[in-house]
Amino acid sequence: MNDVNTSEIEDSGVTGLRALPMGLIAVLVLVAVALLATCQAMDLRGVSGTGALSDLRTTIRTEVPRLAEDRRMDLDWVATLAMLRDGRLSSHFGPGAGEEVELG
């Protein structure tokens, strides 16, 4: 006889589904922070660049200015996260995006 309690399996599945939105939000926040770090690294190194990465930085910099002096970074994360969520950065990802990246 099968000793598997199907209600326990269903409970685990429901718990996993409830946790999924928080996991997705955490991934989006991580992506936002990584994008900001990339922009800042390019700024600090004086990389002007052309191509997809430079275009992405230009788009982000329309909402989040270069970090020239100390300020709250959480507001920058929120602004970048909003750009990810509302699709303003979507043209920089996916098929065809980033095929040519020339720095320097």
Consecutive 10-residue runs of the chain (104 residues): their mean pLDDT? 56 66 83 93 84 88 92 92 89 63 45
pLDDT at residue 24 in the model? 81
**CB burial string 90-101: b at 16+ within 10 A, e below:** eebeeeeeeeee
Using CA atoms, how far residue 44 sits from 33, 35, 47, 51, 79, in Å, is 16, 14, 8, 19, 21
Per residue in 17-38, pLDDT tens? 677 777 788 888 899 999 999 9
pLDDT at residue 66 in the model? 92
Q: What is the pTM of this model?
A: 0.69
